[in-house]
Amino acid sequence: MIKWVRSHILKSEFNKNVAKLVSGTASANVITVLFLPILTRLYSVDDFGQFQLLLSVALIITVISTLKYEMTIPLPKNKSDSDALFLISFLFLIIISSGLFITLYFFGKPILNLFDAGHLSVYRWWISFAVLFGGGFELMNYVYMRNKSFGLMAKYRILQVAIIQGVSLAYGLVSPDFSGLLYAYLAGNGIVAIIMYLKSNVSIRFVKIRYALYQAMKFKKFPMINAPMALLNTFSMQLPVFMLSAYFSPEIVGFYMMANKMITMPMNLISRSVGRVYYQSASSAIHKGKKSILKIFNQTVRRVVKVGIIPAIIILIFSPTLVTVLLGSQWSQAGVFMQIMIPWLFFQFINLPISTTFSLVRRQEIGFLLIVISVLVKYVAMEYWHSTPNIQLWALTIVSSLFYITYTFTSYSILKRVKK
């Protein structure tokens, strides 16, 4: 059996790289699953809800903390050009996180009120550090992606999750309130990002600012289009948290957060790992012409559909029972939410690995337009149908499913127009 896997499944470099990332993500998920039954009994549903509200705000800023220049790091042929783009990314990360800290220090409460999180303004300092450390971790992943160091990426992902879960547990045993979840997030991302940098081959000592700016201008579409697109996309993904918070209690937000986590945790095991390899492989294939990149696109979509369909069916049927057994009866509503959300998250699972296609062919404006339409429709749907949490989530599921189907088919259509 092992020989068959090595000779067939692991025959191509693409599959080998995916396998490395999947193994790391799988191990990280196992750690999370082992800790979840303990953490959900140390921290309340309300604790998880408040943590998710602050995290959602931080994630919206994190995604543009480098103005998306981190995505350019794997693209140049020369390492010196890549190092220059790393320097630009890092400088923007420092500038944006520092500016955010100052802004929130003076205007934190009115800004957080926009997200129905004004009551959490005492923790406003946490958001800027979450952006700095989370953005740093993502930046270093693109450095390792360029070097095809997928095995190391997997190991660092395991370390990140182990630190987050370990700190959450330690804090929960001593003083169980949601601030323990905040400190754990900072520790996991910050410590691992620093280690990844110290162990990397990045060299910015001799990079001249003028040369770095020249490289940045070559990829000006990334901050001009990719950054706003990523901002809107992340806001769209976090919108349910804000909409649920606006109409219902933090407890409902906690149920939603856990339902989302329980579904995306196994699905992202494949989806994000395949996506990182797809971006690296497609970046190389784009220079070979339409046939090469279309082949990679089609193979990627087929793989994730085959892998995802059975887990999606299992979640649809058994999620209430699984949640009650794993997390306790107080979390049973999260199982109901999972049944409602699974169609939307399945289509998201298919779309996620190939979501960078517009960037690869420098047609980011199309993806941006699709996301703008999605955010508007999603907001209207959740604003109009909000009589109960279940109805609001059904509105979200229908709109989101249609968006991801449209995004995937449009990506394919754009690739067909690539010049040979």
Q: Structure tokens of 390?
A: 């279940």
* 102 assigned to some structural domain: yes
156 plus 268 within the same structural domain:
no
| 321 burial type by CB count under 10 A (0-12 exposed, 13-18 middle, 19+ buried) | exposed
* 6 assigned to some structural domain: no
Kindly report which listed range (54-68, 209-223, 345-359) carries the lowest average pLDDT score.
345-359
From 218, 241, 271, give the residue that closes a domain.
218
38 in Cβ contact with 170 (< 8 Å)? no
Residues 6+ apart with CB under 8 A from 136: 93, 189, 190, 193, 194, 197
192 plus 226 within the same structural domain:
no
* 2 assigned to some structural domain: no
214 plus 124 within the same structural domain:
yes
35 plus 54 within the same structural domain:
yes
Cβ burial 286-307 (10 Å sphere, 16+ → b, else e): beeebebbeebbebbbebbeeb
* 4 assigned to some structural domain: no
| pLDDT reported for residue 17 | 75
Q: Tally the domains of the chain.
A: 2
322 plus 181 within the same structural domain:
no
The identity of residue 48, as a single letter, is F
Global confidence as pTM: 0.82
| pLDDT reported for residue 287 | 66
**Average pLDDT, rounded, for the chain:** 88
Q: Structure tokens of 174?
A: 């001593």
Question: Measured between alpha carbons, how far is residue 102 from residues 62, 105, 127, 179 in Å?
Answer: 16, 5, 11, 21
Q: Which long-range contacts (CB under 8 A, 24 or more apart) does 243-249 make?
A: 243/379, 243/382, 243/383, 243/386, 243/392, 244/389, 244/392, 245/49, 245/53, 245/115, 245/116, 245/117, 246/116, 247/386, 247/392, 248/389, 249/46, 249/49
| pLDDT reported for residue 117 | 85
From 183, 218, 253, give the residue that closes a domain.
218
From 174, 203, 218, give the residue that closes a domain.
218
Q: What proportion of the chain, given as a percentage, has pLDDT over 70?
A: 94
Q: How far apart are CA 244 and CA 388, in angstroms?
A: 10
212 plus 234 within the same structural domain:
no
pLDDT digits (tens, 9 = 90+) for 292-331: 778 888 888 888 888 888 889 998 999 999 999 989 889 9
Q: How far apart are CA 146 and CA 84, in angstroms?
A: 14
The identity of residue 19, as a single letter, is A
Q: How far apart are CA 392 and CA 381, in angstroms?
A: 8
Q: What proportion of the chain, given as a percentage, has pLDDT over 90?
A: 58
* 271 assigned to some structural domain: yes
* 1 assigned to some structural domain: no
Q: What's the whole-number mean pLDDT along residues 402-407?
A: 93
181 plus 41 within the same structural domain:
yes
Domain span including residue 180: 11-218
* 417 assigned to some structural domain: yes
214 plus 224 within the same structural domain:
no
Q: How far apart are CA 46 and CA 281, in angstroms?
A: 42
Q: How far apart are CA 364 and CA 227, in angstroms?
A: 10
pLDDT digits (tens, 9 = 90+) for 1-57: 344 344 444 556 767 777 777 777 788 888 998 999 999 999 999 999 999 999 999
Q: How far apart are CA 133 and CA 116, in angstroms?
A: 24
234 plus 187 within the same structural domain:
no
pLDDT digits (tens, 9 = 90+) for 23-39: 777 888 889 989 999 99
207 plus 253 within the same structural domain:
no
* 180 assigned to some structural domain: yes
| 268 burial type by CB count under 10 A (0-12 exposed, 13-18 middle, 19+ buried) | buried
Q: How far apart are CA 99 and CA 175, in angstroms?
A: 32
197 plus 335 within the same structural domain:
no
138 plus 246 within the same structural domain:
no
